[in-house]
Amino acid sequence: MQTAVLEWYGENARDLAFRRTTDPWSVLVSEVIAQQTQAARAAEAWTRFIAQFPTPAALGSASPATVIRAWRGLGYDRRAVALRAAAIAIVDDHGGRVPDTFDELVRLPGVGPYTARAVLAIAFNRPVAALDTNIRRVLARAFVGDDDVPPRAFQALADGYVPPGRASSWTHALMDVGAAFCRARDPRCDACPLLAFCPYASQTRAVRATESAPAHPVPKRPSPRFESTTRWLRGRILDRLRDAPDGRWVTFDGPIGNHDVEAVLNALGDLARDEMVELDDSGHRTRLRSVG
């Protein structure tokens, strides 16, 4: 099964810019950017970001405003602030080198268990499994044969499936298999390199449909429009601040979209508490945070 996955990956790997390096800092940045961002778009953004901040010292010495401007278009802007804080910790606590142990990595701001394991596997080639949604689904269906295994036991099983000396390629390969074939809905089992081995693929489509479809489907509630969310509002505020000259105060005294002034002021307060913006005494005038 390992051979089937790796041989397929060798011929069909997605050509993503951040896969051309195993530099630990570059890998950490790519993993943070790739959270909640499509792979191709993440690769393009990573190329720009790593050119501007090629080392932890370069990012840590930049102002929050500079980093937030560089993060434009990636969403979840708190990730930019956390990544800058991680860069400062790497410089102050690890001599400017990304640590190579799980415990040290997860102590960095904004670095969770998945990101830590991804850095260990891709940058340091350690035999650990980075379990994002795609990889977990591939392993559960094809290797474990069960998605109800407790998390700690599943992690141990997944670690054991990492081919010795191939952790980096294995991680990328499973991501691509999950994205191309082992999709949550309408998986392309017939084209998957694991077809001959996978218990899930051996089931008939009729059986899978019977097992997965409820007898009386529950109507889905319509999702709220993105424009009505606080996340959308925060993004519009930050975009307006990014467009302002560095250090210039911007006044917010009217609605934005369908968010009234009170909602706008609440969002400004949240952004200030997240250390992304500075507010003046009026609470209406703000600018991107210039010092950290």
Catalytic residue list contains 262: no
Reading the block at residue 233, the tokens are 């509002």
Distance CA(139)–CA(171), nearest Å, equals 11
Distance CA(146)–CA(71), nearest Å, equals 39
Residue 181 CB partners (closer than 8 Å, separation 6+): 187, 188, 189, 191, 192, 193, 194
Residue 34 CB partners (closer than 8 Å, separation 6+): 18, 42, 46
From the list 7, 31, 227, 275, the catalytic residue is 31
Alpha helices by DSSP H, the chain: 2-12, 24-34, 39-52, 56-60, 64-70, 78-94, 102-106, 113-124, 133-138, 151-160, 167-180, 199-202, 205-212, 230-243, 261-273
**11: alpha, beta or left, given left = phi > 0 and alpha = psi -120 to 50?**
alpha
Q: Which of 231, 265, 282 is nearest to 77 (CA)?
A: 231
Residues belonging to the active site: 31
